[in-house]
Each structure stands twice: as structure tokens, then as C-alpha cells.
Structure 1
Amino acid sequence: MITFDKEKHSLKTPVTLAFLFALLCLLELNVPLNGDEAKTYLEHVASSPFQLLFQYAGPNQHTLFSILSNTSMRILGEHEVAFRIPVFLAAILSVFLIHRLGQSLWNSTTATIASLLMMGSYHHLFFAQHGRGYAIIELLALASVFGTILLLEEKSSKIGAWVLIFSGIALCVTLPSNAFFLPGCGLAFVFVLWESRNSKIPISWSHLGKKLLPFIFLAVSTAG
């Protein structure tokens, strides 16, 4: 379960690891666009946020990435680094967040190993340097899990609900097929909630309903 032990949740290690990963990513952040990211750029660089949100052109459209990327290029100029800034930042934050999750669920050693494994992953490094939505999906999936865990705790359930709702909707905006990830989170949540109950105390259906409300909201919001 989530713990708020200050020593256990020291920021020194995750910040250091995230910084080292950022340095590693910088090596090829400015290479010319190629492959699918070039298609994404050509197809959506001129699209407005409204068009991206309400006119889905197919699986090559990673809506949230294109919105963030286009915004980045308007601010920083139209070049490769600006185009890839959203995935670069998302990949760095993923290293930080997976460490935070590891600390919350297990211990600092496990958290550090998880971060190092992510840093050493070819795919994670590729996603951090490739202008598509996959690094953002990684971050939002971790955020959804984090929100689900917070939702289990009475003191942080409201924060958890908002984190879960925001990250869940953002996942589906990035790529619609991510909607299939959310029921898995819901089932895992129900299982943990059921296993952690006190069998001597009757189930409060109203309390259970409140806990499940964010998942119901996401199901209605992402249906179709």
C-alpha cells in the first residue's frame, strides 16, 4: 500500500536516475525525422487541436502527442528537438514515476531496479527519441496505476480519483485503443479491495460505489 514515509520516498535517487536518462536521450534527439514519426509530422503539423480531437484519421494519429508537439514547435520553432520534446519529457517522468511506484508498493531497492530496467530498455529509449505517442502512453499508464493505488487509501482517495480520471482520458485521447487498459485497472482495483476487506464487517455497497465511481465515469466517457 501507499506509504508517506519521507525517508522511503526520498527524491534524491529518482531525480538522479531521471537526469542520467535525460542525458542519454539527448544524444539523438536532433536527428532527422524518419519512419512513422515523419508521417505523423507531415499529416498533423498543420492540424488544429479541434481537428485532432474530433477528426480521427487512423492509427497513425496519436492525438495528444500531436497537440503537445505542435504547441512545442509554435513556441520553440519548427525543428526536430521541439517536435520530440513531449515524448522526451514523458520518458524522463516515467523513470521518476516508476521509482515512486516501486517505493510505494515495495521498497527503495525494488524501485531503483525498476527504474534501471526502464532506463536500459531499448524500446523506452527509442520512444523517448521518436516523435510518436508511445512514451506519453507509458507515462499515463503508470499515472493510472498510481491513481488507482491512491484511490485505495482513504486519505488520498480524492486525489487518486482525479489522477485516474485525468490519466485515463488522456490515454484514450493519445490512442483510442488504450481504452482496453482501463478495465484491467478496474478489475485489479476490485480484486485488491475485495482481498483487503475485513470479512467480519458487512460490505458497504455505497462505499464501494463511491470507490468505483471514477472507473464508471471513465467507462461512460470512453465508450464508443
Structure 2
Amino acid sequence: MTWNLPNILTLIRLLAAPGVAVMFLYFTRPYADWFALVLFVSAAITDWFDGYLARTWKQETKLGAMLDPIADKAMVVIALMVIIGFSSWSPWLVLPSTVILFREVFVSGLREFLGDVAGTLKVTKLAKWKTTFQMIAIAVLFSQGVFEHYLGMSVFGMDQTMVDDIMAGREEDVLGLGWKLMGMEWAGRIGLMLLWIAAALTAITGIDYFIKAMPHLREGR
């Protein structure tokens, strides 16, 4: 095994994946959301950085090629699990997440079954875009949790009449309820839109990989 800097960064990203979930075990919200967001974004940045370094320094290795997709899938799967677990289980969130999770498991199983000919399923540019949209969507959805809980902290102790008066402009918005609510709503909308785009790209790339693998799945070959 070759432990160069790109591979070390990939390993750190892999180890950071469960850390996203651990944040919600040891910290209260919105601090857990903040820590998870920062950890996830940092890991997503290393995803680009380690690949760039490996190509630039000509340090691409079999170890890196193996760890990189595993780290990406671990980050996405665990982050989606956390987001769904702390959400209202809206079908608009659950459905695209299910497509993404199913495809990742399916393609991983397909690669394992193909064994030596798994190189047939090389990562395509569309698959890289799929991963990019997944990462951005998840980061935006984590930011929604930050806005939501800061809003909840701000309205704590207020009755509904006071909240309604502030939102309607009849009372001064000293605590910034308006921009916190707007941030929460827009982060939710944009995050869901990006997640659906990611799910569509995920499904397309999954079908593409399955078609490429078909010749190797036929009996007698």
C-alpha cells in the first residue's frame, strides 16, 4: 500500500464519514448541525483536493482508486441517514434519498460481483457531477438545520401572537426572526431541488453502469 498525501486525505475523508453522525450524539442542536456541516464540507473539499493532487503529482494508486469511491459513498449515505432521521420524513426528501441509497448499494454490489472485470464500470464525468450535486445538496440541507434551530432558539418563550406580530412587521424584529425563517425556507427548497437533481443523475448513472455490465452478467460468459 502506498501512503502518499492524496491517499491520506482520502482516508481522513473516509474516517470523517461516521463523524457526521457522531456530532448529533455528543452535541446539542444547532451546534451539532454546525459541526456536521463544517465536517461534511471539509470532507467534500478534500474529495476534489486529493484527486487533483493525485493527478498533478502523478500519485494515482490502486489504494486511492479503491478508497475514493468508498469514502464518497460513506459520506453521502451517512449524511442522508442523519438528515432523514432528524427530519419530518417528508416524501420529497425520502424518495430522492432512497434512489441515491439504492443506486450506491446496487453499483457497489455490481462491482463486487464483476470482480476482475469491474474496470468496465469506470467512473464517468456524469458520475462525478452526480457526486458533486449530492455533496452540495447535503451541505445545503445541513444549513437548513442550522437556520431552523437558531430560529427555534430565538422564538423560545414567545407566544404565537408575538411571533405573528413580528413576522407581520407590527413588532420590531430585534432577534432577526425574518431572515432566519427565510434562510430556513430557502435552504430547504434549494437543498431539495439539488437533491432531486442528484437523484436523477444517480439513477441515470446507475442504469448506465448496469447496461455496461450486462455482457458480463449473461450465463455462460
Of structures 1 and 2, the one with the larger relative CO (CA 8 A, separation 6+) is: 2
TM over 0.5: no
TM-score w.r.t. structure 1 length? 0.35
**TM-score under structure 2 length normalisation:** 0.35
The structure carrying a bigger helix percent of its residues is 2
